[in-house]
Structure 1
């Protein structure tokens, strides 16, 4: 290496003699990269403008606008026939390079901030101390950039006579020149963002090339086995991936530190993913055996061990591994660990998902014994990546209660309210605490009062519960424009309780969604009385949807009520009246044929309307028959209809009994009158008898005895 270093410097001096102004050559290979290349080149602009440099682009057969875009940034654009060898294309860029230093990027990478790069190349004394440099490649797996992998890539090197790329796929500069500078510079890489099978197609291209390269005696076997295993992971063939990782481990030499770390790291990770816990523990022990240096890879492996011990139900060892993980992670973030492994290993501790998982596991361990510490770990979790939401929500809730951390939910309310997937469930837990733990309300209300979140139904509900100033006015103002979701339906409770006009809100609920929303009523306090009182004040909603809501709400509470209750029967009558109005608005007075094809609930309403008309006409038998027909059409209301029928029949029986009593009273009166007539006639008092008979004839004109009495009065028998 010393010889190469000296020879390289002399060769460089000789070569740079005619290119004194070129300090850095930047090489990029392209093919159909019109989407990515502008970002890549714009990211390089500050660097290229700040130091003496050149940009070299070698295109391997683009059919889009890639080369046209490239020529806007550099005149050094060259064509190269693709020969299924990435290192060959990279070496073509080296062929055209004249800078003392060489740096390479992919077209789908772009640098976030060039300032540290510029500082490095601008500091001649520092530059003289190094022969290579690494930057951080941050590979994203989604376009939202929520999940990423970081690794240190040796992308910068002095140009020596032996500077050459090797590796048909995942190419790299053959000699890793030392000493190396680690530059705090991040290049975002989007080559592995899932895009309609793009990643898999890349892997299908790469895998055969890597397998073929195994026949080349100059191939770096540990490196190649690592890459082959990675490609099999993309293909979903985990067993094959682990097979090549083991082959890679068997091919290691003592100085293959990056590949050793990468191979053991991925093998332990995949064994855990396959729930092969004992094998994972064995391979991890093999990795740590005899190793004195602590690498960044160790951070991840301790997390994998924690997962294994958790699944083997050993919380003591799980906790020990997690605490080691957090301790080493802190050292890694402080750049206090050896990072030679980062030249090959893609570590997990830098990703959101595995970071979440570590905090989540530790929170579960602390849940029962140290709820405050558990909450501290939950607070560090970002999103739901690698976290089971239902477990998180239940654990969060139990820790809040155990720790009496009443301001927890309000302090995290901005995150909760913006979480469309699980925010509602967390708000519901918050409401449960509010309802079930009165001691929580002061702290929660004070914390919530500080929030400046507009149009939030829960915050408005809290204000209404606390009778805060202007809460009712705000509700009345927002009802006409409020979003229609099951949660906003809760606010109808307060609107109905205060007799506000709810029709502007109700009239926007789609009929198909009505039944789902109406179930919210079950959570209302004293819902039956609130709904009953409201529709006594607002018996006739102005819109059909408002009428439908009234019918559905009344039906919902009626089905859960005691049918013998007088108020229930009044509500049922109100329900039937509104259902009849609704049905007739929809169908007028349908014919018997039309009646047979309309929904059962509307047939029920039509029959009940006919029953009411018969009742008003005092056709009680007909009324009862229509009610029987109605009950048969809508059986869920049969018990309430039956109660109405029984009431009608009872009224009919009482009326019949009263009529029978009146008939008996009349018969007795008639007998008394006729006896009076007989006495008067026998006494010869014909004038009084005639007067009484005239009145009696009006009372009971069909009595045959009347003619007999008139004959006696008009033809009296003279005494002998």
Structure 2
């Protein structure tokens, strides 16, 4: 009976992760003919007991600051055809692919394999980077570990298999527990510096020290070691992965010191060096493009975007070369993932260089059919379109020439057809877009529909009430009053089949009208009654009768609770019961200060009708203004300047001659204007 796979696990006393690690290995132990060897360097009986639950093959090892010696202790007793090693702070996410690799017999066609190590940069697991690691190989008598730190298996023969399976690894996350002063990085640095003393010409050691200084935020020192390491690596006959890593990272490290000019010059020197590999060139192009943007060398930046494109296509057509050029995170896969953002950077560079033909070329490079990669760039594409002043129509024309079904491009094509006054084509494109509208672009489609009087039913069926509420609030705020009146008249007929959505827009429109214009008394009351009917109809549609019978319930929206008070006040107005009206309106303003201007206008009209200066109406009127002032003071105290300014506009209508209101307005303008 043969052992297919030996798993060698280096265990210290990391009890918090050992359980996860061992548990992730259970499928391999169950599905394959596998042995597990534990090299135990810890002191805890609890840790040892947990390891013994999974294997009886425990090798005690006294730690001697040499990882290779510890690894070789496990390797020496391995009996599998293949060998896999990992640490007790790593655990597999899914081992299914590795199991298939062995069960299918595919492993017989390879001599080594890579899988992915996901290195987390924080203990919460929110930030991480993925690195291909060669942790599996055919076991031969020559196989051994070399280097006391960042140990490697050697020889690591080809051909090798690239697996997508990955381990979670928190070893590089900085530990911040009270009393724990030593981190993995400081431990590694001391070992590496000692190793360098023994091997002063080791380019790989220089690279590893560079990585450690980078991780502790010492880019200046990292640059020194990286320069020396790169110079040593260039003296070797072969180009190893550590040279590739230093090729790609030296300019980036220099930029971290703040000297972007030196970083650009160094990057260009490396780019033109005969030993620079294609994958290194790709990574350098990304760094140099960003540096050119910051240094305002826009045309040079465009050159590097073009070079990125050329090298990317070359490597995609020559995957065997890309497979041979890998160094930790410096891989074709990692840099190809930045393709869309590089092209986006290129578009902004063409704006600064006023090179529109180049912009058109870059637009054609975008992988428009890959929605997952393109979607995050839509806001930047919109910003770029606005940034390219005077080219709006031309940009739409270029979008129209693209051969793609991408929904964002489809919207641009609809806009172009509209500009060309091609009504039928505009409508056809609009209907396609309405059925597959990218997030955030419903507003654009509504504007097109209103201008051309297209039915909104297709779009609104796919638009949530929350998104529509957001739209109605924004459109009434964004449009000037005269523009909004025309827009309202044109959109309301398009909402006949969607009464709920129509009422929401009606309410936002009425709020703008009631707080923005001085209306005749009869018209004011008419519009307030219309507003109440609209809000109350919505409430009946959404809420149960029991909830509506108690308009003071805080679960109900402020707009409805305000409308309930206002409706009661308007009912009393018809009866001529003025004294109670003030109390209701006082509550209403407290609930929804946004409408204080309209309520204030109503109160002034009532005061004029009564025509009795000594009546208590004036006192109530002043008390109402005082309550709104109190709301305003709270907003100012909280630094909510935009909200305070909105209430001020209403309060000025309520108390136009109040000096305190004038002073508060000046404070809001001063403080809010400094943001």
The TM-score with structure 2 as length reference comes to 0.63
* Mapped partners of 1:28, 1:578: distance in 2: 86
Matched, 1:182 2:169: no
Give the corresponding residue for 2:220.
Answer: 239
**Aligned counterpart for 1:205 among listed residues 179, 184, 187:** 187
The offset of 1:297, in angstroms, is: 2.2
Matched residue of 1:296: which SS? Answer: helix
Q: How does 1:26-425 map to 2 (within 5 A)?
A: 26-31=7-12, 32=14, 33-34=17-18, 36-38=20-22, 40-42=24-26, 44=28, 49=32, 53-61=34-42, 73-107=54-88, 108-110=90-92, 111=95, 113-114=97-98, 117-118=101-102, 126=109, 132-141=111-120, 148-151=129-132, 153=134, 155-161=136-142, 163-173=143-153, 175-177=154-156, 179-191=157-169, 197=175, 201-215=183-197, 217=198, 221-252=202-233, 253-255=235-237, 257-258=239-240, 259-274=242-257, 276-284=259-267, 286-287=269-270, 291=274, 294-333=277-316, 334-337=318-321, 340-343=324-327, 346-347=330-331, 350-351=334-335, 354-365=338-349, 368-369=356-357, 372-377=360-365, 379=367, 391-396=380-385, 402-404=395-397, 405=399
Stretches of structure 2 that go unaligned for 5 or more consecutive residues are 477-487, 537-550, 553-557, 629-647, 658-675
Match of 1:585 in 2: 584
Asked if 1 retains the 8 angstrom alpha-carbon contact of 2:283 and 2:335, the reply is no
| C-alpha deviation, 1:250, in angstroms | 3.9
Q: Deviations over 1:436-458 (max 9, x none)?
A: 99769525522234339999975
Q: 1:474 to 1:40 in 2, by over 3 A?
A: closer
Instruction: State which drifts further: 220-229 or 487-496.
Output: 487-496
The reply to whether residue 486 of structure 1 matches residue 470 of structure 2 is yes
Q: Is the 8 A contact 1:262 1:341 kept in 2?
A: no
Deviations 1:473-525 (A, max 9, x none): 979x986xx5795335469966799796799979xx9xxxxxxx899959x99
Q: SS of the residue aligned with 1:257?
A: coil
d(CA) in 2 for partners of 1:287, 1:73: 50
- CA spacing shift, 1:198–1:312, aligned 2, 3 Å: same
1:445 pairs, out of 414, 430, 449, with 430
1:150 shift after superposition: 3.8
What SS is found at the alignment partner of 1:302? helix
Report how far residue 384 of structure 1 moved: 9.5
- Correspondence list, 1:579-658, <5 A: 583-585=582-584, 612=606, 615-616=609-610, 618-619=611-612
Instruction: State the distance in 1 between where 2:223 and 2:245 align.
Output: 12
Cα distance in structure 2, aligned partners of 1:193 and 1:582: 69
Matching residue of 2:455: 468
Unaligned stretches of 5+ residues in structure 1? 1-19, 417-426, 510-516, 554-570, 590-594, 645-720
Could you give the per-residue CA deviations for residues 523-576 of structure 1, whole angstroms, max 9, x where no partner exists?
A: x999999999754545566557447766999xxxxxxxxxxxxxxxxx9xx9xx
Give a deviation string over 1:283-313, Cα, whole Å, max 9, x none: 3455456636845323212333333444444
Tell me: CA distance 1:473–1:156, structure 2 relative to 1, closer, same or farther (3 Å).
closer
* Corresponding pairs, count: 559
**Contact kept? 1:378, 1:396, Cα under 8 Å:** no
438 and 548 in structure 1: CA distance in 2 versus 1, 3 angstrom threshold: farther
Equivalent pair of 2:189/2:212 in contact (CA under 8 Å)? yes
Structure 2 CA distance, aligned partners of 1:349 and 1:478? 37
Deviations 1:128-185 (A, max 9, x none): xxxx524143535478899644445364253325x33233321113x435x4222132
Residues 573-607 of structure 1: per-residue CA shift (max 9 Å, x gap): x9xx9999775137689xxxxx9xxx999899799
CA separation of 1:103 and 1:244: change in aligned 2, threshold 3 A: same
Contact 1:138–1:186 (Cα < 8 Å) also in 2: no
Q: CA deviation at 1:246?
A: 1.8
Q: 1:226 and 1:519 mapped to 2: Cα distance?
A: 67
Q: CA RMSD in A?
A: 6.0
**8 Å Cα contact 2:282/2:312 also seen in 1:** yes
Q: Cα–Cα, structure 1 residues 538 and 40, in superposed 2: closer, same or farther, change >3 Å?
A: closer
How many angstroms apart in 1 are the aligned matches of 2:270 and 2:441? 53
Cα 1:642/1:74, change in 2 over 3 Å: closer
Tell me how far 1:239 sits from its aligned partner: 0.7
CA gap 1:358/1:620 in 2 versus in 1, 3 angstroms: closer
Secondary structure of 1:486's partner? Answer: helix
1:567 aligns with none
Alpha-carbon distance in 1 for matches of 2:348, 2:151: 43
Tell me how far 1:394 sits from its aligned partner. 0.7
Mapped contact 2:582–2:621 kept (Cα < 8 A): no
Secondary structure in 1 aligned to 2:274?
coil
In structure 1, how many angstroms separate the alpha carbons of the residues matched to 2:620 and 2:401? 56
Aligned ranges 1:450-529 → 2 under 5 Å = 450-451=435-436, 465=450, 466=453, 468=455, 482=466, 486-487=470-471, 489=473, 521=512
Q: Which residue of 1 aligns with 2:670?
A: none
Residues 628 and 339 of structure 1, relative CA distance in 2, 3 Å threshold: closer
**Aligned partners of 1:140 and 1:147 also within 8 Å:** yes
* TM-score normalised by length of structure 1: 0.59
8 Å contact 1:101–1:158 — kept in the other structure? yes
Aligned in 2, Cα 1:459/1:248: closer, same or farther, shift over 3 Å? closer
